């Protein structure tokens, strides 16, 4: 147990099984990730071999059904939160986003897909042999999912897909894309989910450079008369919107946990710097203003973590509601922004030089605040669900 994770020992939601998982993942991160993360950040992507190693370590298959190559017996959603935190220890948000991209690409298949599709796709993904991504966002649509423009027209035993997706995590390396397409009329009722083989003729990918999450490859994807077998339809035709929506709560909970974890990393680096750095004849932490900053950072992290754990418990007990996840995501991203700023203030000029975790985390604040639903969209969603009003 370290200062990074001793909060779990004081929480009623975590027990020795969660700590055992944390230790296992931590050893994997120290051995297979920490020595290489700076190079992967510079390269702009993770090596495919890392997915295989993560699968062998039991990371990719955590809480997925055994019949498809996962391991769910004895694991709950708090184990998933532990995994998120331990992957955050290197201070690179792109690691979790890209290595665990199957966490948003695979669930719709397992929830809505045919048994043939599950058996064909899930095992190679959970073994790290194949990479799956999720394609929802479009260049002109953003969070307005119900009005997406990419079309899929039935042509015998195939669908013909035309259009494009934007800001797709793991889009350059993905073998498959769980893709939202329009098969019917306007609005949510005309949306379906299709699994697209990314090596299909007519698929074009363009790498996007980014401010943060640099080790996570991100792509703009264009479809030009791409033929997709009809058996790759995920769920009923024009019934894909529910598959998209059911993904969002878990994604937002995961992002909120990631914000708590990254904030702890930033605070830990700032605290260590404050204890070692001397100014005016005493350690930086000897100054009241610095102690106040650190205490306030801890206050915000602890408050947000308590809400994360409560939402996770509500999911476990079937008492969750979407508005809570929307508001939680805003709370977590604003907390991370505040903590990252204060950590940078404590490190001073050192926080502006590439190499510190705080520098990297500070650059990644905005992707958390925008990705998975912007703050404005989240608060409006919560407001409509809690208080009514025009849609």
Pairing of strands 151-155, 158-169: antiparallel
Instruction: Please give the C-alpha separations between residue 376 and each of 74, 224, 242, 285, 372, in angstroms, as whole numbers.
Output: 38, 33, 22, 37, 12
Strands of the chain, DSSP E: 132-135, 151-155, 158-169, 176-182, 191-197, 203-207, 218-229, 233-234, 278-279, 282-283
DSSP assignment of 328-373 equals: HHHHHHHHHHHHHHHHHHHHGGGGGSBTBHHHHHHHTHHHHHHTTS
Q: How far out from the chain centre does Cα 166 lie?
A: 16
Of 338, 319, 305, 315, which is closest to residue 82 (Cα–Cα)?
A: 305
Instruction: Tell me which DSSP letter residue 211 carries.
Output: S
Of the residues 85, 251, 342, 364, only one is catalytic, namely 251
Of 58, 25, 43, which is closest to residue 173 (Cα–Cα)?
A: 43
Q: Which two tokens stand for residue 144?
A: 């307005």
For 242-260, give one letter per residue: b (16+ CB within 10 A) or e. Answer: bbbeebbbbbbbbbbbbbb
| Catalytic (active site) residue 251 | yes
Instruction: Please give the C-alpha separations between residue 287 and each of 147, 263, 351, in angstroms, as whole numbers.
Output: 54, 22, 19
The total of other beta-carbon atoms located within 10 Å of residue 218's CB is 25
Of 181, 186, 191, 187, which is closest to residue 223 (Cα–Cα)?
A: 181
How much of the chain is in helix, strand and coil states, percent to nearest 5? 55, 15, 30
Q: Which two tokens stand for residue 202?
A: 């007519």
Would you say 250 and 100 are in contact if contact means Cβ atoms under 8 Å apart? no
Of 269, 273, 293, 292, which is closest to residue 283 (Cα–Cα)?
A: 273
DSSP assignment of 48-96 equals: HHHHHHHHHTTSTTBTS-GGGT-B-TT--HHHHHHHHHHHGGGS-HHHH
Q: Residue 66 and residue 70: Cα distance in Å, rounded?
A: 5
- Residues marked as catalytic: 251
């Amino acid at each position: 147990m370290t200062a990074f994770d001793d909060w779990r020992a004081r929480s009623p939601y975590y027990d020795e099984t969660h700590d055992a998982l944390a230790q296992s993942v931590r050893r994997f991160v120290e051995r297979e990730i920490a020595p290489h993360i700076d190079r992967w950040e510079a390269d702009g992507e993770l090596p495919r071999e890392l997915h295989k190693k993560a699968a062998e370590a039991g990371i990719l298959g955590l809480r997925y059904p055994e019949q498809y190559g996962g391991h769910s017996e004895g694991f709950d959603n708090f184990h998933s939160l532990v995994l998120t935190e331990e992957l955050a220890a290197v201070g690179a948000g792109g690691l979790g986003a890209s290595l665990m991209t199957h966490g948003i690409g695979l669930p719709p298949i397992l929830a809505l897909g045919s048994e043939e599709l599950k058996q064909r796709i899930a095992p190679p993904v959970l073994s790290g042999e194949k990479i799956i991504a999720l394609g929802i966002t479009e260049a002109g649509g953003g969070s307005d999912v119900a009005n997406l423009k990419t079309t899929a027209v039935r042509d015998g035993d195939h669908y013909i897909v035309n259009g494009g997706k934007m800001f797709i995590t793991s889009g350059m390396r993905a073998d498959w894309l769980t893709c939202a397409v329009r098969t019917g009329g306007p609005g949510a009722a005309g949306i379906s989910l299709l699994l697209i083989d990314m090596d299909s003729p007519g698929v074009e990918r363009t790498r996007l450079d980014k401010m943060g999450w640099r080790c996570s490859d991100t792509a703009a994807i264009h479809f030009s008369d791409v033929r997709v077998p009809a058996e790759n339809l995920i769920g009923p035709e024009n019934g894909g919107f529910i598959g998209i929506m059911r993904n969002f709560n878990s994604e937002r909970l995961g992002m909120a946990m990631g914000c708590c974890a990254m904030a702890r990393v930033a605070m830990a680096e700032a605290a260590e710097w404050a204890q070692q750095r001397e100014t005016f004849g005493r350690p930086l932490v000897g100054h009241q203003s610095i102690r106040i900053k650190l205490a306030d950072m801890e206050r915000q992290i602890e408050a947000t973590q308590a809400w994360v754990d409560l939402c996770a418990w509500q999911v476990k007990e079937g008492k969750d509601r979407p508005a809570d996840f929307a508001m939680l995501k805003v709370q977590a991203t604003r907390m991370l922004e505040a903590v990252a700023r204060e950590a940078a203030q404590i490190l001073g000029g050192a926080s502006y030089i590439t190499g510190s975790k705080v520098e990297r985390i500070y650059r990644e604040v905005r992707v958390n605040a925008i990705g998975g639903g912007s703050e404005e969209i989240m608060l409006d969603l919560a407001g409509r669900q809690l208080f009514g009003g025009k849609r």
